[in-house]
Structure formats: structure tokens, C-alpha cells
Structure 1
Amino acid sequence: MPKVDIADLPYNLDKEKHINDLMNLYSQKVYLLAYSYVKDRGLAEDISQEVFIKCYKSLQQFRGESQISSWIYRITVNTAKDMLRSKSFNVLKFPKAFFENFTKSQSPEDETIEQDEREAVLQTVLSLPTKYRELIVLYYFQDEKLEDIAEILNLNLNTVKTRLSRARAMLKEKLHSFSGGELLGKRS
């Protein structure tokens, strides 16, 4: 999905229309990012709603110094972290059918194998420490640029690069040990 800047939205729209447009464009990505923090569907939905309430309340304060997506993701990260801190929250739940929208036309056996692989990858990503998990989600699931991730997470660009490299190495190691080298198309 192409990135949308607030300046790209028509100026004659009212505040509710802006928020509705933003919700239509970013609700799934906000939910996924929130879920990557709390690992609970209900809490991720609550966080997503809270994010758009915060966006509604502070839309007039958006200065346009960054992309609107970066602003929304920053609010999401902060809201999720606040939720975790306030509830001393630590849930280890994983989705059963997270990738069900991505199934392709293939045999039931291949679909089952692919679904299992996707769930294993998702569980492995969600098992990473937060500072690595958030980078993987933003970079691979949200298609954010490294510079934007640095802004969203309020980190130095070199820190982002280092953490992303470490996160990739951790994922590679965990996926290899988890599957014995048979995950992600390495079946015989």
C-alpha cells in the first residue's frame, strides 16, 4: 500500500473524514504492530482504537515534518508500551489463523504445510525480545524504510541497522533450530 501524507488528503475534508481515511488506510497495520507488542488480539484491538482516538484528538497538531504513517506508528508504539507498563502485561498467546488471508490456490496439503510454516515464522518473530520484534514488524510487515523506523522508535539510524541485523540473525538461528532446516521451502 502506498504511503499517504496528510498533505495528500484534500483540505476541504473535515476532521472526521481525515480520521476515517486514516483508519481505512492504516487500521490493519496499526493492529499488527500493536499485536506484535501485546500478543493478544483483544488488547491489540483496544490499542488500535486508542491510537485512532489519539490521532483524532491531535490531528491538528500534526506538523507534517514526517509522513503520516510514521506519526501513526509512533503513536501505536507508545500506546502499546504504555499498555504493557500499566498492566504489567506479559502474555504468550499466538494466533491460530493469522495469515489466513494470504492463502493461495493450491492443494489442501500444500496449504496446510504453508500455514504451519507461516505460523512458525510468526511465533518465532513474536518470541523475539521487543527491541528486535518491533524492527522486524516495521521493516518486513509494514515495509517501512530504515530512516522511518529510526524516527518511529526514536532511535539512531545505526542502532536500527544493528538491531535489525541482530534480529535477522536471531530469526535465522531460531527458525533453523526449530525446523531442522526444513522450514521455508527447504523441504525435500
Structure 2
Amino acid sequence: MTTHEEEHLQQVMQQYGDEILRLCYTYVHSWQTAEDLTQETFLKFYRASGKFRGESTVKTYLFRIAINVCKDYLSSWKYQKIQLSNTLTTFLKSKDNLEQIIVEKSEQQLLVEKIEQLPLKYKDVLMLYYYAELPIAEVAETLDLPVNTVKTRLRRARVQLKLKIEEGEDFSEFA
């Protein structure tokens, strides 16, 4: 790694590190895992830096890499095994006091759960638009989709989320 490459990587990490970390967290809901995935994102960015043609911004390119890294992780056997283990542990612990646990859940946690139930194509758009606060044009560029497709998915995601919320708890302030 040359000094120039090293400086460029450090600059990119400083400039976008927190945003990439937050984006990864929105997918995996674990800060430790999000940190690992952020590191993997920057490694992939460095390794693929010669392939970057400058057709998009560095931020958009990084977000695209981060989303792919997160999707790869979420489809991995390691993640599936962790989820199964966590589900079984929660079930065994909460068997007797399930009603109490449901009452204790906050509206924000329930909203996140409803978002998690959406198809990935809608969840991606919601995460990038609301949590990463990207404008629609950058969401489209990040996901390599036409702007109108992003607008349509965003509209459909809102409708589906509203329906899921109406099925469950009272979320009148979010609807």
C-alpha cells in the first residue's frame, strides 16, 4: 500500500466510517457485528479501489459495498445459527412471563420489528432513505435502480409498513 493509498483510505474511513457503521447496524442490530461488517466494507473498498470508475460518489459506492456485505452476512449460516439460538433462548426464558415481556416492549422496538418483516427490497429503501438519510437519487444510485423504482418501492414500503402496524399494536403516531 502506497502512502497516497493509505492516506486516501484513512480519509474515506474518517469521512464515512460512522455512516457505514450506522447503516450496518440497521441491518444486523448488533454494534459489535456492525463494527466487523464496517471493517469488512472498508477492506473490500480498498481491494476494489482499482475497479472504482468514479461513475458514482465514493459515499454511494461504499454504501453499495456495505449493503452487499450486510446481505451476505444475513444469509450466512453463522447468522442463521445465532438467530435460532437467540430465539430458543428467548422462548425458554419467557415461557412463563410472555405477557409481561410483550407489555414491556417499546413502540420503537415494535416498529423496528415491523420493518424487519418487510421484504428486503422495501427494507433497503426505507433504511437508506430514513436511517441513512440519503436523498432518493442517491438511494437509486446506491441500489443501482432507476429513481422511479425507488419512489415506487418507498411508497409500497410505507403502505406495507402501515398495514403491518395496523395488524399489531396501536401505533397511531407512526401511521
Fold-level match, TM-score > 0.5? yes
Q: 1:14 to 1:163 in 2, by over 3 A?
A: same
Q: Amino acid of the residue matched to residue 53 of structure 1?
A: L
The alpha-carbon deviation at position 136 of structure 1 amounts to 0.6
Q: Does structure 1 residue 78 correspond to structure 2 residue 68?
A: yes
TM-score by length of 2: 0.71
| Richer in helix (by share) | 2
The counterpart of 2:142, out of the listed 152, 160, 170, is 152
Whole-Å separation in 1 of the counterparts to 2:107 and 2:15: 28
Aligned residues: 152
The alpha-carbon deviation at position 78 of structure 1 amounts to 1.5
Q: Does structure 1 residue 32 correspond to structure 2 residue 32?
A: no
Q: 1:151 to 1:172 in 2, by over 3 A?
A: same
Q: Does structure 1 residue 45 correspond to structure 2 residue 45?
A: no
Q: What's the C-alpha RMSD, in Å, of the aligned pairs?
A: 2.8
Q: Judge conservation of contact 1:47–1:80 (CA < 8 Å) in 2.
A: yes
The DSSP-based 3-state class of the residue aligned with 1:83 is helix
Q: Does structure 1 residue 21 correspond to structure 2 residue 18?
A: no
Whole-Å separation in 1 of the counterparts to 2:155 and 2:78: 29
Identify unmatched segments of 5+ residues in structure 1. Answer: 1-12, 94-114
Deviations 1:112-155 (A, max 9, x none): xxx94433333332332221111111011112222222222222
Identify unmatched segments of 5+ residues in structure 2. Answer: 87-104
TM-score by length of 1: 0.66
Percent of pairs identical after alignment?
A: 36
Q: Does structure 1 residue 67 correspond to structure 2 residue 57?
A: yes
Whole-Å separation in 1 of the counterparts to 2:154 and 2:119: 12
The alpha-carbon deviation at position 81 of structure 1 amounts to 2.0
